[in-house]
Structure 1
Amino acid sequence: MIRAAGLALVLAGPAAGEGLGGDALCQAVWTRLADGLGALGTVSAEAVGQEGDWCMIEAPILDLQGSYMPDWHLDRLRLRGAALGWIADGSSQPEGLEIVVEGLRLIVQTGNPQMDWLFAAQVRPNSIDAEAALAWDPATRVLRLEGMSIDFPGENMVEARATVTGVDLSSAGALQMSATSFALTEVEARITTHGLFEWYVLMPFGPEVLPYEGDMDAAAEAIRQDMLSAVRDLPATSVSKDSKAALVALIGELPNPSGDLELSVRAEPGIGPARFRGHAGTGALATLAETVPLLQGVTLDAVWTHSDAP
C-alpha cells in the first residue's frame, strides 16, 4: 500500500549521480524512503539487500508519532524497476517501478505494555498484502498505474488501474510544474467489500458526518437521503441510468454494503487542477449547478453486485 507521503518521496527525484548497484543501490533507495517518511515518525528495518532484481526490505516499521496512532509493521517490502536508480542517485529514468507489500499490519500503541502486546497479537493473522506497478513514458509524459491490488483480511479486495497525463519526472522543477498541469484521464476499479467499508471508511469518516449525540439512525438516514438525491441529480451525460441505479442500490445498503463495486471513469481532457482552477479559494461547491460544468467530458460507469459474505 502506498501512502501519499511515500509516493511524494518517490516522485521527488534526486540530483543526478553516477549510479549504484546491488545492495548499495537498495540501501540508498531505502535511505531516501526512510528520510521522507521520517517526518511522520520513526522508521526502521531489520535488513536491506538485493535478491535477484528485487530490493528487499525486511520487517520495516513506521512508528507514527502520537498516542493511539496505528504504527505500520510489514513483514517485507519489495521494490524493483528502472526508477530505483532514479530514486537513489538520479542515474536512470523513472520509467518503471513495482512495489510489493507483504504482511502489513496496523498496530495501535497505547503505552500500556500489556494492551500493546495483545493488539499486536490480535492483528497478526489479519495482515494486508498489496502490489502496484507504475510506468512513466518520458516522450508523452504519461504516468500509468498499470495495476494495483490490495488484499485485505477476509473477502475484501481493491483493484485499480489509472492513467495520468501531463506528468514530467525529468527534474525536480519539471515535477513541480506537473503539480499544476497533470490530469487523470481514466480509472478502472473493482472493490469487493464484506466489512471493508465498515473498517476503513465508516470508522474514519463516521465521526465527521454524524452528530455527537442524538438519534444516530435518523441522522444516518438523512445522510443517506442526501446522497441518493445527489446521485439522482447527476447529469445523464456523465452518469447513465443504469449506473445511477447501481449507486442507488449501493447507498441503500449503507452502512453495511456487501458485494462488488465496479467503477470506470473516463475524462476528456482529464480531471486535474486546470478543471478546478475557477473554484480555487471558494471552498466546497454549494450547488449542483456549480458541479455540472466540472463534469463536462467525464463519464462514470458503475456496477454494483450484492453478495453475502462467504
Structure 2
Amino acid sequence: MIRAGGLLVLLAGPVAAETGLCETAWARVAEGLGGFGTVTATGVAQEGDWCVVLAPVLDVDGQYVPDWRMDRLRFRGAALGWIADGSSLPEGLEIAVEGLRLAVQTGNAQVDWLLAAQARPNGIDAEAALAWDPVAKVLRLERLSLDFPGENRVDASAVVTGVDLSSTGAMQMSLASFALTEAELRVQTHGLFEGYALMALGSALLPPEGDMDAAAEGLRAEALAAIGDLPGTSFSDASKAALRALVGELPNPAGDLAVTVKAEPGIGPVRFGGYAVTGVPATVAAAAPVFEGVKVDVGWTHADAP
C-alpha cells in the first residue's frame, strides 16, 4: 500500500545508482509513506544500479492493523537525479520487494512477537516495472508479479492513457482524464482467495448471524444472475461460462483465472462521470453504457494444488 507520491519520486529509466542518491530517494519515499505510520529501515546500500533498502518496516498507525515488513526493497532509475535536483522527468520505475510480511499489532508484546515470527516463513516477493511516455502521455504497467507462499501467484499488466506526470498540477489534472485501455490479469489460487479476500468479502456481504450456508448460496445465486445479465457484446458465452464455473467453486476456488480487458476509448472518470449525478446503477442492465466499447475475455481452469 504505497502512496502515489511515494512511487512517483522513483519514476525514471535505469541508471547507475549512487549511495547518496539512494539515501535521498529512500528518504523521499519514507516521507511519502509517513502519513500511514512510522517508516524505518536498518540501512540503505547500493548493488550495481540498484538501490537497496535493508529491512524496511511501515508501522501502520492503530491497533489490529497489519504492519508491512520486508527483508529488502530494491529500486532503480534515472529519477534518482530528478529527486536530487529536478533535472529529469519520471519516465520509468523498477521495484522489487523481497520477503514482504503483514503482521498485526495487538498491543500485547507477547502476541505481537509471536505473530511476527509466525509471519516470517510466509513472505511475499513482488516485482513491478512502469514506463511513462511524456509525449503520448501513456503510462504502462509493464509487469506486476506477486509471488505468494504455495502455488499462489498474481501477474498483471495494463496501459493507461491521458496520464501527465510532468508536474504536480498535471498529475492532479490526470485524475480526471486518465483511461484504462488495456489490462491483463492472471491469478493462480490454491488458498490465495481464502487467505486474502474471503474474510473481507464475507464480513461485508454475509449476515452477522443465521444460516451461513443458505446466505452464501443466496449470494452465489445473485452473482450467477448478474453474470447472465452481462452484455454479450462485451462478454462472450465462453467468458460467462468461465465466470459461472469460478462462482460455483466459491468460497474455495482452486485453479487459474485469466482476464483480458480491451476498452475503446478507455475506462476512466469520463466514462463514469454521469453517475455522479444519476447515482450508481441498480442493475447490470442499467450499467450497460459502462461496457460500450469494452471487450472482456475470461478464462477459468480448475486445478488441484500439486
Distance 1:8 1:215 in 2: 45
- Number of equivalences: 302
Structure 2: runs of 5+ lacking an equivalent: none
Give how far 1:89 is off.
4.0
User: Which residue number in structure 2 is paired with residue 101 of structure 1?
Assistant: 97
The answer on 1:11 being equivalent to 2:8 is yes
Give how far 1:45 is off.
0.5
Give how far 1:255 is off.
0.4
Distance 1:260 1:49 in 2: 38
Distance 2:218 2:280 in 1: 20
Identity of aligned residues (%): 64
Describe the shift of the 1:206–1:158 C-alpha distance in structure 2 as closer, same or farther (beyond 3 A). Answer: same
Name which of structure 1's ranges 81-90 and 265-274 shifts more when overlaid on structure 2: 81-90
Distance 1:263 1:57 in 2: 34
The equivalent position to 1:82 in structure 2, one of 78, 81, 96, is 78
User: Which residue number in structure 2 is paired with residue 61 of structure 1?
Assistant: 57
Distance 2:200 2:83 in 1: 32
8 Å CA contact retained: 1:49, 1:56: yes
8 Å CA contact retained: 2:10, 2:77: no
Letter of the structure 2 residue corresponding to residue 31 of structure 1: A
Distance 1:147 1:27 in 2: 25
User: Which residue number in structure 2 is paired with residue 17 of structure 1?
Assistant: none
The equivalent position to 1:27 in structure 2, one of 23, 27, 32, is 23
The answer on 1:276 being equivalent to 2:250 is no
Describe the shift of the 1:53–1:100 C-alpha distance in structure 2 as closer, same or farther (beyond 3 A). Answer: same
Give how far 1:87 is off.
4.1
Distance 1:204 1:192 in 2: 19
Give how far 1:91 is off.
2.2
Distance 1:168 1:52 in 2: 30
Distance 2:17 2:47 in 1: 12
Give how far 1:120 is off.
1.2
Distance 1:99 1:56 in 2: 10
8 Å CA contact retained: 1:13, 1:171: no
The answer on 1:234 being equivalent to 2:230 is yes
Structure 1: runs of 5+ lacking an equivalent: 15-19
Describe the shift of the 1:261–1:44 C-alpha distance in structure 2 as closer, same or farther (beyond 3 A). Answer: same
8 Å CA contact retained: 2:258, 2:300: yes
Distance 1:163 1:116 in 2: 41
User: Which residue number in structure 1 is paired with residue 218 of structure 2?
Assistant: 222
User: Which residue number in structure 2 is paired with residue 257 of structure 1?
Assistant: 253
Distance 2:133 2:231 in 1: 34
Distance 1:208 1:88 in 2: 45
The answer on 1:138 being equivalent to 2:101 is no
Distance 2:254 2:68 in 1: 27
The equivalent position to 1:159 in structure 2, one of 140, 144, 155, is 155
Give how far 1:12 is off.
6.7
TM-score, with normalisation over the residues of structure 1?
Answer: 0.94
Distance 1:43 1:140 in 2: 35
User: Which residue number in structure 2 is paired with residue 200 of structure 1?
Assistant: 196
- Cα RMSD between the aligned structures? 1.7
Give how far 1:113 is off.
1.8
Give how far 1:11 is off.
3.0
Describe the shift of the 1:89–1:206 C-alpha distance in structure 2 as closer, same or farther (beyond 3 A). Answer: farther
The answer on 1:245 being equivalent to 2:244 is no
Describe the shift of the 1:13–1:149 C-alpha distance in structure 2 as closer, same or farther (beyond 3 A). Answer: closer
> SS state of the match for residue 245, structure 1?
helix
Give how far 1:22 is off.
1.1
Letter of the structure 2 residue corresponding to residue 186 of structure 1: E
> SS state of the match for residue 273, structure 2?
helix
8 Å CA contact retained: 1:13, 1:169: no
Distance 1:258 1:70 in 2: 26
